[in-house]
Structure 1
Amino acid sequence: MSEKRIGSSYGKLMMNTIVFAIGSFSSKVLVLLLVPIYTKHLTQSELGRTDYLTQIANWIIPLATMTISEAIIRFGLDKAYDKKKVFTIGNVVCGAGMLIFAALLGLISLIGVADKWISGYAVLLFLYVFMSGIKTLYTTFVRAMEKVQLFAVAGIVATFFTLLFMVLFYLVLPKDFLGANTGIQKYLLSTILSDAITAVFVTIAAKLWKYMDFKYIDRELLQTMLQYSVPLIPAQLLWLITNSSDSFMTTYYIGEDRNGVLSAAYKIPNLVATVYMMFGQAWNMSAITENDSEDRDKFYEKVFDFNQSLLYILAAGCLLIVQPITMVWIDSKFRECVRYSPLLIYSTIFSCLTTFMGSIYLASKLTKRSLFTSLISGVINVGLNIVLIPTIGLYGPPLSTIASYMTVFIIRAIDSKKIVPFKMDIRKMIVSNVLVMMMTAVLVKEPDLMHHKLLYLVVLALFCAVFVINMESINSLFFRFMPKRIAEKVTNLGTKKLSLIAAGVVAFAGLNLLFKCVPLILVLAAGYAFGIKLDAPKIFLFCQVLCSALIWLLFSHIFGAGVLFIMCAAPIVMYRKKRYIAMAVASFDLLLGALILSDLGWFLFLIQLIALIIVYRKSIDEFALDYIEYGTLGPLDRITGMIPVRRRGGKTTSTISELPDSNEADSQ
């Protein structure tokens, strides 16, 4: 493979990763913002039931769709197959599966054999499965068309409407709107409506109807696609058993309330899986398109090294922040989950590495091997849960998950090297695992490090060690698409300087821990002043909101409000000559404040409004006089400059561009 070809492979992988990051990461992070809403409005029992209902749906989806979406991406990316035929077959298979599922669900509801699990939710369960299957099918085909930008936008659209419907159902609309009387129904209905809108959006944006032709179905291709996708049904089910047996068995052995706590414990570990998903989606496409390339083994080696280093750094970072984030983000009745989150964060490392190895099976069309390894994972997970949950309670599911994923990763790593013989840095893998395990052990032993500052500094030091060990692999891949000038600067720093920087971060974090974030507040205040002086809105806006929010949260609301008033009013006064910039600053402050804290957002709004009125009071007076003189059209015409505008002293101007600046007007 030529150097140009190699660069193209890495560049395409990274660009796809960035695009998926925009769609997936932003959407997933926004969805995580919903956690405070539904942990506040759902009881532990309701959250536990919501969790296992979604798990039931996730089990049904592979059966109802026959995992045809996996065949869509595999055969859709292969230039040897007609995309129209591939997509048509996908719709036919998915539609047939949904009809069978509807009939079976109706029969089960009549007999009542599953009333314990789905009583009162059968219709919503069907709609959830149907819309999720359709959305997945359509967005996957968009990926197969290599329209990754549209795929990313679809993710953002799905998130926006999920957020919108969640807020509407829980906070705005009447309790029984659309028949949603319980918090569980509102949760499911929000997802259903969001998936429906996303499917319609993708259909229109990609003109998917042009790829549907039900008059002629290629039976040979149908058989080939089913031979590929059907073995993935038990594989996905077994994989889901590994993921969701924790929920069902926790509910069975120790109750829905404890399962609600376990569900909350998964929220922060999902951050690691979310970030990996961005890379994993791009890698899945590259694994297929590069499967027949000459330099495939070297490509896999570099990408795997980058992948494992990224996972270790992400997991260590999440371990570093899991306790303070849980205290702020999770409602008080679920705070106990902080005891179990570290173990679940550690398990995501092997979960993601196992998924990476599974891409080799998919690219090579060896899906039966995926089935075998998934079977091993399911057996280990269920077996250990049966033993551990009655014995050690909620520590059982995380430990069984770690054991199952670690075992399957080892098996897949050995087996996949027979297909693609690429090298692995075993030494780095062992050292990184030991360091992350040490962090996990400290956090599990002491769930409140805020009162044990020395232990927190130990955790910080371990994180820095993980970062230093793995950063070279991250840099090596980034350098392939990073601008040359930036790459040279990073390279010139060297390992020693980067280690010193990491040590400085540890020291600074330690000072903030000891002195209640006062050093960070001082740095942000200095950055704010620096941004004002250099006329750099991005700098002072960032420092302004973060500094005042920290003071607001850590000290007193009154003190924070005072600091906020000064920091918000100063830019508006400074930009009084640039009215639109001042208004943009005000809007941006309001948005950031609302994201940080609702009370802070409203307070920001009042500050901005008062400051704008004070700065532009004379313009407002003149605007009101024009309105009185010219009637209802006066203000509009004044803005557009279509009629003369009376100014003080009898002077008139005909267009807005001729109006004096506010400073000039004030001086008059």
Structure 2
Amino acid sequence: MDNRYKYLIKNTGILTISSFSTKILTFLMVPLYTSVLTTEEYGTYDLAVSTVSLLIPILSVNIVDGVMRYSMDSRYDRADIFSIGLRRISVATFIFAAILAFNSIFQITSVFAGKELLILLYFISTLLYSLLTQFAKGCEAVKQMAIAGIISTICLVGTNILLLLVFKLGVTGFFIASCASQLIPAIYLAARLKIWNYTHLKINKQVQAEVLKYSAPLVLTAVGWWVNSASDKYVVSFLIGVSANGILSVAYKIPTILNTIQQLFLQAWQISAVKEYNADSKAFYQETFQILDALMSLLALGLILTTRILAHALYAKDFFVAWKYVPFLLISSVINTASGYLGAILSAKKDSKTMGESAVISAIANTVMNIVFVKLFGVQGATIATALSSFLIFAIRAHHTQDVLPKKSIFTSFFVWLMLCVTAWLYVYSKHYILILIPMVAVLMCYRKVYYTLLYSAKRIIKKK
């Protein structure tokens, strides 16, 4: 096997062992959340988290991605890179604290009243953990990242059980558990990487200018992704109500299965894409993309067809209706995986401009579609808008990476995603379930060669063992 595939599989395997099995525990916590918290409490927490997710890349100039990319470049001193990142997140924290204080005094919005300190702590823990994780990735410290992921999940599960069931702190305990699950693994990473060796007060202005030049356009990328994944929650909250947002937020929990797999692979792929960029990598990129999309599409198909069963097990009381919104969110996850794959290639090229432009165009379209579709179709309109905007961002990135992926691969993916949409629509709205077999067979036929190759390879590996 090609060493490039071995390296990618090894890193993916390490991250899978550390994260996927433990992420299952987090996934199984959903019944606890939906039984202890009201739809309004969950909706408020989700809005706070979504707001932090938006402000972090803006206030920090998305410095963490710059830290990752330049830490992998041997021409730069990693101490310079990390120190630049640390200073930038310190400034971001100060600005965010000022924003919270301003809101508390003038009561611009009362949604977060009384939770300002919890939200600030969540902002700090999220940004610090992100910085250390991205720096570890830039240093190719995959094992340390993996262990940090295990620690994070154990902390999240343990503190949630303690604070929600034992001390019954409600949404306050939920916030504290989320913060602890990031601060504790951040401390572990800082200790294992001996981060003090990469920290100094003097900032290399020339290197800082280069890193910021790369990371600044990625603010648009981050905001675009945020709009695609979170703006629907705001639109639903304002047009329908916070309780409806709580239901939509819970609907995102089943797609978390795909998102977890996506994150595990893309973290490993981001390293390989940069590492192999200067090599003869076109065939490597093409084959990897086909395998990834084939597997993600197959998983999405399986989850769409078992959504009701999973919802019965995971969604308590008033949350059960959320099952209707899951299928199109699953399709968005598949398309976002493909977009993230191309994003890593653009990152290898240091083409942050294209990444930013594609995200902004998609974000604008997503906002408009959310408002229109939610008014027309209710909560389901938000999931449809998310899927369409995910498709748009992929199409733009595919156009800018034509030298890597042939049109045939792109059109195959487009057709498969269309068949997944047909499957989702029939599953939710049609009583003639037999019709679902048509798009199902179409998906399997499109990637039959990939599935056959994977099965054949698996059999050979098993026989050798």
Judged with a 3 Å threshold, the aligned counterparts in structure 2 of structure 1 residues 19 and 423 are, in CA distance, closer, same or farther, namely farther
For 1:203, the equivalent position in structure 2 comes to 190
Contact 1:301–1:423 (8 Å) recurs in 2: no
Letter in 2 for 1:61: I
Deviations 1:202-245 (A, max 9, x none): 1122222222222x322111111111111111221122012111
For 2:304, the equivalent position in structure 1 comes to 319
Instruction: Confirm whether residue 428 of structure 1 aligns to residue 412 of structure 2.
Output: yes
For 1:249, the equivalent position in structure 2 comes to 235
For 1:388, the equivalent position in structure 2 comes to 373
Matching of residues 239-318 of structure 1 within 5 Å: 239-293=225-279, 295-318=280-303
Contact 2:56–2:92 (8 Å) recurs in 1: no
For 1:220, the equivalent position in structure 2 comes to 206
Match of 2:11 among 5, 13, 16: 16
The DSSP-based 3-state class of the residue aligned with 2:447 is helix
Kindly state the Cα deviation for residue 170 of structure 1 after the two structures are TM-superposed: 0.9
Match of 1:440 among 424, 427, 433: 424
Contact 2:305–2:427 (8 Å) recurs in 1: no
Letter in 1 for 2:100: L
Cα distance in structure 1, aligned partners of 2:55 and 2:463? 47
Kindly state the Cα deviation for residue 152 of structure 1 after the two structures are TM-superposed: 0.8
Contact 2:26–2:157 (8 Å) recurs in 1: yes
Kindly state the Cα deviation for residue 172 of structure 1 after the two structures are TM-superposed: 1.2
For 2:447, the equivalent position in structure 1 comes to 470
Kindly state the Cα deviation for residue 145 of structure 1 after the two structures are TM-superposed: 1.5
Kindly state the Cα deviation for residue 107 of structure 1 after the two structures are TM-superposed: 2.5
Letter in 2 for 1:30: L
Kindly state the Cα deviation for residue 477 of structure 1 after the two structures are TM-superposed: 6.7
Cα distance in structure 2, aligned partners of 1:488 and 1:201? 38
Judged with a 3 Å threshold, the aligned counterparts in structure 2 of structure 1 residues 28 and 64 are, in CA distance, closer, same or farther, namely farther
The structure whose Rg is larger is: 1
Match of 1:132 among 113, 126, 130: 126
Judged with a 3 Å threshold, the aligned counterparts in structure 2 of structure 1 residues 168 and 205 are, in CA distance, closer, same or farther, namely same
Kindly state the Cα deviation for residue 247 of structure 1 after the two structures are TM-superposed: 0.3
Matching of residues 20-59 of structure 1 within 5 Å: 20-59=15-54
Contact 1:170–1:186 (8 Å) recurs in 2: yes
Kindly state the Cα deviation for residue 405 of structure 1 after the two structures are TM-superposed: 1.2
Kindly state the Cα deviation for residue 24 of structure 1 after the two structures are TM-superposed: 2.7
Instruction: Confirm whether residue 150 of structure 1 aligns to residue 179 of structure 2.
Output: no
Letter in 2 for 1:98: T
Instruction: Confirm whether residue 170 of structure 1 aligns to residue 164 of structure 2.
Output: yes
Q: Which has the higher contact order (CA 8 A, sep 6+)?
A: 2
Judged with a 3 Å threshold, the aligned counterparts in structure 2 of structure 1 residues 474 and 67 are, in CA distance, closer, same or farther, namely farther
Deviations 1:552-596 (A, max 9, x none): xxxxxxxxxxxxxxxxxxxxxxxxxxxxxxxxxxxxxxxxxxxxx
Kindly state the Cα deviation for residue 443 of structure 1 after the two structures are TM-superposed: 1.3
TM-score (structure 2 length as normaliser): 0.94
Kindly state the Cα deviation for residue 134 of structure 1 after the two structures are TM-superposed: 0.3
Cα distance in structure 2, aligned partners of 1:339 and 1:237? 27
For 1:340, the equivalent position in structure 2 comes to 325
Matching of residues 110-121 of structure 1 within 5 Å: 110-114=105-109, 116-121=110-115
Cα distance in structure 1, aligned partners of 2:213 and 2:272? 22
Deviations 1:251-277 (A, max 9, x none): 000001111111111111221121111
Kindly state the Cα deviation for residue 279 of structure 1 after the two structures are TM-superposed: 0.9
TM-score (structure 1 length as normaliser): 0.66
Cα distance in structure 1, aligned partners of 2:285 and 2:299? 21
Cα distance in structure 1, aligned partners of 2:359 and 2:174? 30
Kindly state the Cα deviation for residue 104 of structure 1 after the two structures are TM-superposed: 2.9
- Structure 1 segments unaligned to the other structure (5+ residues): 1-5, 447-451, 490-668
Match of 2:155 among 161, 169, 189: 161
The DSSP-based 3-state class of the residue aligned with 1:416 is coil
Letter in 2 for 1:154: A
Cα distance in structure 1, aligned partners of 2:70 and 2:204? 13
Judged with a 3 Å threshold, the aligned counterparts in structure 2 of structure 1 residues 399 and 225 are, in CA distance, closer, same or farther, namely same
Cα distance in structure 2, aligned partners of 1:110 and 1:239? 31
For 2:64, the equivalent position in structure 1 comes to 69
Kindly state the Cα deviation for residue 10 of structure 1 after the two structures are TM-superposed: 1.0
For 1:83, the equivalent position in structure 2 comes to 78
Letter in 2 for 1:120: G
Matching of residues 590-605 of structure 1 within 5 Å: none
The DSSP-based 3-state class of the residue aligned with 1:386 is helix
The DSSP-based 3-state class of the residue aligned with 1:196 is helix
Cα distance in structure 1, aligned partners of 2:441 and 2:266? 25
Identity score, percent: 28
For 2:89, the equivalent position in structure 1 comes to 94
Match of 2:103 among 86, 105, 108: 108
Kindly state the Cα deviation for residue 466 of structure 1 after the two structures are TM-superposed: 3.4
Letter in 2 for 1:348: S
Cα distance in structure 2, aligned partners of 1:399 and 1:421? 27
The DSSP-based 3-state class of the residue aligned with 1:425 is helix
Cα distance in structure 1, aligned partners of 2:8 and 2:208? 30
Cα distance in structure 1, aligned partners of 2:162 and 2:173? 9
